[in-house]
Amino acid sequence: MSNPHLLHILSEIAEGRMQPETALELLGSQTVCDTLNGLTLDTQRGLRTGLGEVVLAQGKSDQALVAAVGALARHGAVLASRVDQAQAALLEKHFPIGRYWPLPRLFSVGGAPDFAQAMQAPWPQRGEALVVTAGAADISVALEAYATLVFWGKNCGLVTDVGVAGLHRLAPHTEALRAARVIIAVAGMEGALPGVLAGLVSCPVLAVPASVGYGIGSGGFAALATMLATCVPGVAVLNIDNGFGAAAFAAKMLRREQPEQG
């Protein structure tokens, strides 16, 4: 259940249009949402963890995918990841107001007000969270991280193609890098960029190895090994191509660092 949905229920109680007993039954019954397609959806994950459930499209049947997106959309905005072209066409048919972004393979219904605008280049090159790529070939993984953070309403920027083959390309972004509260560094090949960045900034660096390369670098394993073996402190390593996981980590970090209200 999303915060707006919960606020609506509380407002209904406050204005006398809903009995407390009815609200209690409604809230208790919506902890999970069972469907007929082998799904048990966690509709209150956003309230419990700060991040709502995201649908992984990969491996799901058409029926299960549509059921999952539809059920979650009834409780608020919903994001689906790893959506291929055929699945996108299916979702667009069932959810005409939804949007598909082919490069990061994301489909959304609702989300932050500026999410649609974020799908268009040029992307902002500074933010509380800053996604940085070593090469242009890493862009799909980087956009998965960037778009997911924007969907969740986070202030995020994206800097591309500034890897170790030409480190001078980082120079124009030094101020933005040092102003960020968390950096997501996406790199394939030898995967050296996260260590370089961590040696320049005071914020944590989340390293995402990309499955870009050839020979021993094929599949992202060389980049993963480099990132895990870095001698620079302050680097945390995600799974290969896991832009979404990096976005979730960054979102929780930003949320915990927000000052208490009072």
Identify the weakest region by mean pLDDT among 28-32, 37-41, 62-66, 208-212.
28-32
Report DSSP letters for 195-228, one per residue: HHHHTT-SS-EEEEE-S--SGGGGGGHHHHHHHH
Indicate if 106 and 232 belong to the same structural domain. no
pLDDT, tens digit, 9 for 90 and up, residues 117-129 = 777 778 889 999 9
Q: Rounded mean pLDDT of the chain? A: 87
Indicate if 103 and 189 belong to the same structural domain. no
Residue 96: C-alpha distances to residues 2, 33, 88 (Å): 21, 23, 11
Indicate if 242 and 142 belong to the same structural domain. yes
pLDDT, tens digit, 9 for 90 and up, residues 211-228 = 998 888 889 999 999 999
Domain with 13 in it: 3-25+32-111
> Beta 106-109 vs 99-101: how paired, if at all?
antiparallel
Q: Which pair of tokens denotes residue 20?
A: 């407390």
Domain termination residue (choose one: 69, 92, 111): 111
In a domain, residue 262? The reply is no
pLDDT, tens digit, 9 for 90 and up, residues 160-175 = 999 998 989 999 999 9
Domain termination residue (choose one: 76, 111, 146): 111
Indicate if 122 and 248 belong to the same structural domain. yes
Confidence of residue 132 (pLDDT cuts 50, 70, 90): very high
Indicate if 130 and 249 belong to the same structural domain. yes
> Beta 156-159 vs 129-133: how paired, if at all?
parallel
State the pTM of this model. 0.83
Percent of the residues in the chain that have a pLDDT greater than 90, as a whole number: 60
Kindly state the helix (H) or strand (E) to which residue 46 belongs, with its residue range. helix 45-49
Indicate if 150 and 230 belong to the same structural domain. yes
Q: Which pair of tokens denotes residue 119?
A: 């799908």
Cβ(119)–Cβ(125) below 8 Å? no
Residue 134 sits in a domain of what CATH number?
Answer: 3.40.50.1970
Q: For residue 106, what are the β-bridge partners?
A: 101
Indicate if 73 and 162 belong to the same structural domain. no
Indicate if 122 and 249 belong to the same structural domain. yes
In a domain, residue 190? The reply is yes
